[in-house]
Structure 1
Amino acid sequence: MSQYHRACVPIAGVMAALVGGGVLAIYVFSMFAKQIALDFEWSRSTVAFGATVFSLMNGIGAVFLGRAMDKWGMKRTTLIMIAIFGLSLCSLSLIPASVPIYLTVFAIIGFSGAAATIYPYSLAISAWFDQSRGLMIGIMNVGTGIGGILLPLVAAYMLANYGWREGYVVIGILAFLLPCIALVWLLKLPDDFEADRKRLQASHAQQSIWQLFVESRQLKILMLGIFLVAFATLGFLSQLAIIVGDKQLGPLEIAGVMSAASLASTVSRFATGVAMDYIPARFVAAFLFLLASAGIWFVTAHDSYLMLVIGGALLGIGLGAEADVMTFMTSRYFELHKFGSVIGLLHLMFTWGGAAGIYLLSMSFDAFGNYIYASYAFMAVVAIGVMCLLSLGPYKFPPAPKQKASA
């Protein structure tokens, strides 16, 4: 039976990743945003501010989720937050043309959407798998890429035939139903893992988040490195279509660059996981994030379509690697019973770093009339982030040595 539960964990992760919060926030929201602006007679910036609120609250929600998983258990905490997430998505179908109500609902979606990530399932994978942990995380994270392809099609169908309100009802139901099936029927943590968690909780032996931050050199380095890399890669990628469009490319060519980024991101999610089973994660991360930095250069310094496609693909590789890197490094540098607390802080850095990068890149364009200066600054930021990750040193909790077959 234990082998059955072990095999079901990555399947559960893929199901949840298909309707993850990141997929809904980026791909589905972008499908509905224009129509929301038209129906409510709002500016596009007002509608887009909902996504900003989502990102800010998503980081805070991740800190809460992580601590709650360590304290009360992964399944119970995730189920409750997923239920709130699905209901709040459905509630968008009922909101009036009120900016405060709109932003409040998106704040709830963002906070509860912290559970609609791969992090709870990454904890389960880390508890069940050791030698092939990276591979399983990579397989699970491919679900995010598939969801990014399928959910916009669902959203487009609903928008064309019913409307964005009905579309959010369907998306909300899916966002609750798939993770619920995964958590209730497919996902189970090892018995000894849960017993250890309850014992630690009963003995009050768990550190507070502040204690963990103060006492752990690796945590501070990881937080800074993730913040810097997300600042540059997310910030630049968010404006990629606009930057490419400024180079006098047509809509189909712009879509080609964005598709290259999306496809590369999906492939990177799997390849990164596999690579980390054989190569120390800090080296894998450094290589991939430097590729993303090269992508910024390709897009900034070139006008030819081929070079822009290459640049978009390199950026997608870096972005696709980030979730794998965060979850895998957390499991190798920290005890699994601290996984939730650590990954919550890292996700906070990821979302807030990305939000800061998006804002400052836009500010740079307003100040200078181009993205050149900010782009080269972003490349330097990635380099500093890479140096942070390289300074982490060897794993504190490396894979157990492989047992040699007896003669």
Structure 2
Amino acid sequence: MTTARASSELGRPGAWWVIAGAFVIYFTSGGLFNTATVFFKAIAGDLGLGRGVLSGAFSLGFLVAGLAAPLWGSLADRRGAKAAFLPAVVLVGVLCVALSRVTSALTLYIGYISLTLASAGISLVPVSVLISRWFDATRGRAMGVAFMGEGFGAMAVVPLAGYLVAHVGWRTSYVIAGVGVVAILLPVVVLLRNAPEDTAAGGAGEDPAASDAVEPQRPRAGLPSGRAATDSVGASPNDADPAAPIGARRDGGGATRGEAMRTPVFWLVAATWFMAMTPLAGVSLHQVPFLTDHGFSVESASLAAGMVGGTGILGRLVFGLLSERLPIRWIYACCYLFMALGIAALAWTPEMGVVALGTYVTLFGIAVGGAFALAPLQVAHLFGVRALGEVFGLLGLAATLGGAIGGAGAGLLYDRLGSYDLVLAVAVGMSLVATVMMTRVQRPARRGVAAAS
């Protein structure tokens, strides 16, 4: 990747404002998402629900968010990310307040599923579409910086949620969350600019004249028209070359949804994400209940969960930068290996105390942060950005299904066995399997040409 090309992208009018806006969106939505583990035991105790039943509500919400992701992604693909952000912000704020009024398992399920359906509009898929449309050569670092927002959000919001739950209760905490989401995100989204090509295509809420602020890309010297220089690892000529891997096409090109789904690697990525997200979601949802079961206070357990998000900042930044220099599949596999080691450390926390807990916070946080930063980069690398929102959303369904099974399964096993021992053992094993599977993921070739790493 040439310095001139990177400087050109980052120097475009509004580029850094886009990264900053994406950061704030992910700070807020990521912080809210990560509070589920904090609210868990308070809601269960107030409504008299078992952990399996309550886990089912969170897991179904997680699944519905995944099912909604392709819809929000398609909207972002067609009209620009801003068209997804605006209604989602308002709905999330209203539904957080509504969730504070639930009185039974049924109303909890309805409220939480509705909330997660709306929150998918300010989550990974539309944010990834926004970044991918604005950046190409610097996409990795732009994603890394933007997705650091979730880490900072978790580090700030999760401990705050623990404090609020302990002092004012979970219901008032959800009201505060709803008001906060609207107050923070609505001004940001109103001022946010879609990518110039989205504006030209009629993206919502944009001034058509704004597209003139960014010059169209021109052919590089020495390259025929329609060809682009490729600087990132594993990149190749764009689709002007009929034998190029389908993910190598640039300037908004790449595979359609159908093309992507007809490749074996699409299904391998789906299976790998499923295998990894099952333990990741199960542990993330039950980490605070696990720690409080072993003598930690809600506030101290929430602080540890928040620090997982804090160490995730390092994972997002480092792995985002490494993705521009090394094959994504190998650094992605390292994330899953770190996840397995971190979960093993959590299992030893009752015996080893703060040392094991600190190891868990560091390794698991780095792994989760890196994995979420690499996910959209891997999809763009494999299939291009033409239908990034739809393809990413569909692959996310597999991860979402795994997450739903992981969260609900952990709760059901706890209710049956009275401990999380088996849950953590299975989580370590699944993380190791996902590590091996990820090493087999390679960019799909066209017309029989060998795939790139």
TM-score, length basis structure 1: 0.80
Match of 2:120 in 1: 114
Match of 1:173 in 2: 179
Given candidates 189, 194, 199, the residue that maps to 1:188 is 194
Change (3 A) 1:297 1:107: closer
Match of 1:336 in 2: 385
Given candidates 215, 219, 222, the residue that maps to 2:266 is 219
1:334 shift after superposition: 1.6
Change (3 A) 1:230 1:120: same
2:365 corresponds to 1:358? no
- Aligned-partner Cα distance in 2 for 1:103–1:118: 23
1:250 shift after superposition: 4.9
1:215 shift after superposition: 0.9
Given candidates 50, 55, 67, the residue that maps to 1:60 is 67
Change (3 A) 1:343 1:181: farther
Match of 1:144 in 2: 150
Q: Which moved more, 1:301-310 or 1:181-190?
A: 301-310
Match of 2:308 in 1: 261
2:286 corresponds to 1:280? no
2:21 corresponds to 1:16? no
- Aligned-partner Cα distance in 2 for 1:157–1:74: 34
Structure 2 portions without partners, runs of 5+: 1-9, 205-252, 447-453
Q: Please identify which structure carries the higher helix content.
A: 1
1:373 shift after superposition: 5.0
- Aligned-partner Cα distance in 1 for 2:314–2:56: 30
Given candidates 310, 317, 333, the residue that maps to 2:359 is 310
Letter in 1 for 2:68: G
- Aligned-partner Cα distance in 2 for 1:371–1:102: 24
Map 1:38-49 → 2, pairs under 5 A: 41-43=47-49, 45=51, 49=56
Match of 2:369 in 1: 320
Given candidates 51, 63, 74, the residue that maps to 2:58 is 51
Given candidates 226, 234, 246, the residue that maps to 2:281 is 234
SS at match of 1:337: coil
The CA deviation string for residues 182-207 of structure 1, in whole angstroms up to 9 with x for no partner, is 33213320237854999xxxxxx999
Match of 2:395 in 1: 346
Match of 1:201 in 2: none
- Whether the 8 Å CA contact 1:19–1:175 is kept in 2: the answer is yes
The CA deviation string for residues 345-391 of structure 1, in whole angstroms up to 9 with x for no partner, is 23322232122123334455566666555544433322332233222
Match of 1:85 in 2: 92
- Aligned-partner Cα distance in 1 for 2:305–2:112: 26
The CA deviation string for residues 75-134 of structure 1, in whole angstroms up to 9 with x for no partner, is 2133223322222223334x3524433322222111111012133222222222223211
Map 1:189-204 → 2, pairs under 5 A: 189-191=195-197, 194-195=200-201
Percent of paired sites with the same residue: 20
Q: Which moved more, 1:326-335 or 1:300-309?
A: 300-309
Letter in 1 for 2:360: G
Change (3 A) 1:151 1:25: same
Q: Which moved more, 1:285-294 or 1:29-38?
A: 29-38
The CA deviation string for residues 139-164 of structure 1, in whole angstroms up to 9 with x for no partner, is 11111122223334654676678665
Match of 1:101 in 2: 107
- Aligned-partner Cα distance in 2 for 1:285–1:321: 7
1:31 shift after superposition: 4.9
2:355 corresponds to 1:298? no
Change (3 A) 1:146 1:396: farther
Superposition CA RMSD, Å: 3.6
2:15 corresponds to 1:6? yes
- Whether the 8 Å CA contact 1:264–1:313 is kept in 2: the answer is yes
The CA deviation string for residues 6-56 of structure 1, in whole angstroms up to 9 with x for no partner, is 121110111101211x432331x4555566566x65336455544233212
Map 1:69-80 → 2, pairs under 5 A: 69-80=76-87
Letter in 1 for 2:379: T
SS at match of 2:19: helix
